[in-house]
Amino acid sequence: MGLFEIDPGGLTARLALQAPVTMPDGQGGAVIGFEVLALIWARIEPRLVSLAEQAGAEMVTVTHDIWIRQRAGVESGMRFVKGGRIFAVKAVHDPDETGRYLVCRCEEEGR
Annotate the chain with DSSP letters as a single string. Answer: -PPP---GGG--EEEEEEEEEEEE-SSS-EEEEEEEEEEEEEEEEEEEEEEEEETTEEEEEEEEEEEEE--TT--TT-EEEETTEEEEEEEEE-SSSSSSEEEEEEEEET-
Query: Does residue 1 have a pLDDT over 70?
Result: no
pLDDT > 90: percent of the chain = 69
pLDDT, tens digit (0-9, with 9 covering 90-100), for 32-88? 999 999 999 999 999 999 888 878 888 888 999 999 999 999 999 999 999 999 999
Q: What is the pTM of this model?
A: 0.86
**Domains assigned to the chain:** 10-109 (2.40.10.270)
